[in-house]
A and B are shown apart, each in its own frame.
Chain A
Amino acid sequence: MARERVSQADEWQAWAQRYDIEGGIRTFESGLTVKVFVGALFVGLLMMPGSIYLSYVSGESGAGAAPWVAVILFTELARRSFTTARRQELYMLLGLTGAAVGSGLQYRNFIWYAYFINTPQAASYEIADKIPAWIVPAGDSVGVLTRSLLHPDWFLPIAVYLAGKLLGTLRFVSGQYILFRLTADLERLPYPMAPISAQGATALAETTGKEETWRWRVFSIGSMAGLIWGFLYIGVPSLTGVMMSQPIQILKIPWIDFTQSIEGFAPTGVFAFRTDFGQMLIGFVMPFPIIMTEFVTAMASQFILNPQILYRFEILHQWKPGLDVRGVGLYNGLDFWMSCNMGKSFSFAIIGMAASIPMLFKLRKSKKRAGERGSFATPPNRGDFPIWLMGAMWLIGMGGFIWLIHWMVPNFPISFLLGYAFLYTPINSYITARTFGVLGRDLFEIPYLHEITFILSRYEEVDIWFAPLPDEDYGRGTQSWRVLELTGTTFTSNLAGTLLIMPILLVSGIVVLHFIWKIAPIPSAQYPFAQMMWPINATNECLWKTSLRDGNSQMLQAIRGDYVAAGFTSSLAIYGILWVFKLPSMWSYGIIGGLGADPGSMVTRLLGAIIGRFYMIKRFGMRRWYMFNPVLAAGFACGVGLIGMGTVAIALVSKAVIVKPF
């Protein structure tokens, strides 16, 4: 019997509705209130110095859990004050606190280059005297020698940074918004990972109300599971590392490598079992067809394609027996998969355009309601912006940015900058937006793009290595707009919050970093991580910045046109053939995503997907399960984040205590 064709429109619409927990019916409210703003500033600025300090001492800023701590603190205060907190407020609090905690680290390059310019490595590689003044003042300037970011010597680097920040805000807000409208409103891609953030805020908001619903129970179950798992997986190694020379790992982190065990029958194959069972939660959330096809294709890649075809035909020719997963992965990547993956990611752009251009043509004819696939209409009161305004903002932001770069490096060919800005950036961002919309993650980035550009431009000055390039990616940020929509937070309130807090954070970040630099030189004994790593990093940076002097790079030689074409065409063929045989288009994303990937990294995710599909859905029903699992995942992330922060704090305190020998 002939299979009935389900159009991609119907397929995506159905998946988008599963992840739209309230069935697309919601009211939008502002999340920006005075208490949220002050709360975010208070917690953020309180944690920001610690976050900067920790990053120099231990290499970990601990900023991940800070927003959750702020939200839990906020909800507890609300409960004790007999008031309620709305989910819009809590989601806004999550975002603003995250921005506040991370704001100090935005200036870290100043400290790094103030150190780098006076290193023996920079001198011996003849870079020190070529570092531009818009990155760092001269090595013998007062601002560097007295470790003062508030000295007038730093005026030019800070002014250039602030101009870049302002123009960047214009570009990123507008670029993300336009892509969000295209992928979420027009194409109705499901954004499977967005409900996790949305439901975390919603669950915590309900605790402040009179009636607690299933959300808080499910969130608590997830949090307890996260606390237990976080203790076993992160806590035990961190705490035992304080007392013992070799920390105890209950499960080997991050994987158990079976690559050498399979090399007898599958040479060039990799299989490293990833031990992070938190991935099971992602398996619960992600669409089952994607997880399943991705795993099957990855197995076929590592056990058939690599050993039986690519190795036999000597395409994978650098492999040697006895290599572990990292060695095999590196050689396989250089021999074939890096080029092939580039082609795969380009195919996503073509597939995306093929799906969306006919819809744009059709827009003039049809009058669809907001929330339907193929409709550009916006839901009422979402706080949308006119597309022309966003387009103009992006053009102004990008035009100003190109002018700024041209001012920094006047002899660098401007055609490359224009190509990056108006060709590469839109295509790359659209690819990423689509992969986030379907797979919930980025698929691939083109490696060594800057190096390729510098070679092609025949520009030989070192200053270009210090300049930013307009090769940007707005696709990743589209997910946060989807989360705003799911939490019912108006876009205008989110933008207002971001713009209001930005000047405060720009000033406070530089002041705090100034004082931390004043405490002691960075690196020094007070900052052991920086003391250990920065000299190595300085050597690496010198090697990179001088790597193209002789025009030779192993990485660039690894990119081959025929392999890129193979990845590109095979992905299109897979997509097309599945369409011909009326199979779900989800499969094609799974198959293309799984090509060349390590199946061992997917086992726990697959386990989660199987449990969800064959037990949980039967037990709870599809609708309830799709309501439960993002809340569960949000609770789990909160639990793991809290245990991580707690154990790192204990470890730091114990390291700060000096044990006297008498």
Chain B
Amino acid sequence: MKVELINRPGNTAAKITLQPGEHCTAESGAMIAMSGHMNITTSTHKKNSGGILKAAKRLLSGESFFLNHFDSVGKEGEVWLGSNLAGDMLALDLDNENLIVQSGSFLACEDSIDMDMGWQGFKSLLSGESMFWLNLKGRGKVVLSSFGAIYPIEVNGDYIVDTGHIVAFNETLNFTITKAGSSWLQSLLGGEGLVCKFSGRGTVWCQSHNPNSFGHALTPSLRVRKA
């Protein structure tokens, strides 16, 4: 499986090239275009693993219930994948490590990656993210998407990320919900409110923009919702 990211970071598309016999699992609805001979199958789980329970858990995390599996029949084939919102993508090679991914950021992965739901505790509720997070582990390629550009931060000590800006982080990191400044008052007055504080050693990938801020900026111009 070969991954190319085109047009970063504005409206990134991932071009995935598969050799015969290779499989790629993608979020449902992500396919933009593909070669005519690509085969697509839909299931609630990854090939040969999990089942309806995992799918239900995935649903809770804000991902979709169904996953699509692509494979190329006979000759090399390609699939273009896109995400729902404008934004960047990140392709990572996992080497038997654990990656914790914000719900909704998963786009695609190789067959060899195992997917499960993780529970980060009640603090997740306050983080502006979903309660459940996706745990990816195994050896292989993973493609994630975001709203805005993705930038990595190597944490060694403490680092603060505003809620709504986390894409993924290494399992070696721990996060707590805290305040941005030295005092709660200042943090609230400054409009920062609650933030996530990462500690330990590892990488956290952030998205430059917060989709909710953009949504709220749009609100006054949008047509009123009926009922």
B and A form one assembly = no
Q: Which residues of chain A have a CB within 8 Å of any CB of chain B?
A: none
